[in-house]
Amino acid sequence: MTDGQLAHVPVLLEETLAALNIRPEGVYVDATFGRGGHSRAILGRLGPQGRLLAMDRDPRAVAEGERIRDGRFSIVHAHFSRLRATVAAAGLNEVDGVLLDIGVSSPQIDEPERGFSFRFDAPLDMRMDTSQGQTAAEWLNTATEEEIAHVIREYGEERFAKSVARAIVAARAEAPIERTAQLARIAASAVRTRERGQDPATRTFQAVRIHINRELEELAQALPQGVEVLRAGGRLAVISFHSLEDRMVKRFMRAEAKGEELPPEIPMPAHAIKAGRLRLVGRAIRASETEVARNPRARSAVLRVAERTAEAACSG
């Protein structure tokens, strides 16, 4: 077992395996490989004819995946917003299950040089895909005060967003903001009160990370693609860690389960109305007290599950 495996504890593991309803000969996609906890468990449930395609935008995660020597497994360096194209490029038409484990992974948080955490003084990077894109430092030193305030308010749900943005712009006029400790101090100076047990920089760091990685935009693109690649009876399982993501997943699944809605004044026979592409499977699942005690990061995890309907799969 590698250090990466030791550092990563997959959340809601047994619940996720049950949600995917894994068949030994099935074909599955883990669109957020991370350090492979879920993928390795899925492989353990597959038979000789089964197949697992993994994806991740983080080059370090892909390198970890390439250590798995299993003919049933392959991994691709790709954002999950490229889900449909990645599945097609792998020569697959339909799959039996798709897993999305959204947000930053534990190894990314725990590697100081990635710049995700204010627990370490490190370069302010925050990119999940370090091969491309703007770093957090580059954005914070060039964005307008209004842009910064908008991001911190919308993605961090920080009520002192304007104050934090103003403090960032004032600080960068004195010296570039290049390290996590700088940003943490600036946020702490501008956040007047905070919930018990929460660092005043928490919401600012979350917001900047989400913005830099376009996390909500990626999720909005990935969800419909996850439905499109499923065969009838296939399962979509999504684990989210904060309210913005979970709200998006819940609304998407409910809308897809509801199907086409027409105004009541338009007469239309039932068979002519487009059916929902998904059927909701159970309620939202949260980690047990036992799991949270073992892995505190599981506390905010929410798993939602839906199944591709036969009618929609045939017509779509």
> For 260-274, how does the pLDDT look when each residue is reduced to its tens digit (9 = 90+)?
665 565 555 554 456
CB 135 within 8 A of CB 124: yes
Q: Which residues does the annotation place in the binding site for S-adenosyl-L-methionine?
A: 36-38, 56, 80, 101, 108
Higher local confidence (pLDDT), 108 or 219: 219
SS3 105: coil
Q: How far apart are CA 308 and CA 316, in angstroms?
A: 11
Domain coordinates in residue numbering, the chain: 3-106+215-315, 130-212
Q: Flag whether pLDDT at 152 surpasses 50.
A: yes
In the prediction, which pLDDT does 116 show? 92
In the prediction, which pLDDT does 85 show? 98
Q: How far apart are CA 143 and CA 158, in angstroms?
A: 18
Average pLDDT of span 37-42: 97
Rg (CA), the chain: 21
What tokens were used for 179? 């390290």
**What superfamily would CATH give domain 130-212?**
Putative methyltransferase TM0872, insert domain (1.10.150.170)
In the prediction, which pLDDT does 162 show? 98
Q: How far apart are CA 106 and CA 201, in angstroms?
A: 18
Q: pLDDT of 205-238, one tens digit each?
A: 999 999 999 999 999 999 999 999 999 999 999 9
Share of the chain above pLDDT 70, in %: 91
Name the fold adopted by 3-106+215-315. Rossmann fold (3.40.50)
Q: Flag whether pLDDT at 316 surpasses 70.
A: no
CB 102 within 8 A of CB 239: yes
Average pLDDT of span 264-287: 77
To the nearest whole number, what is the mean pLDDT of the chain? 91
In the prediction, which pLDDT does 106 show? 80
Higher local confidence (pLDDT), 151 or 108: 151
What tokens were used for 106? 């534990």
CB 288 within 8 A of CB 15: no
Higher local confidence (pLDDT), 196 or 134: 134
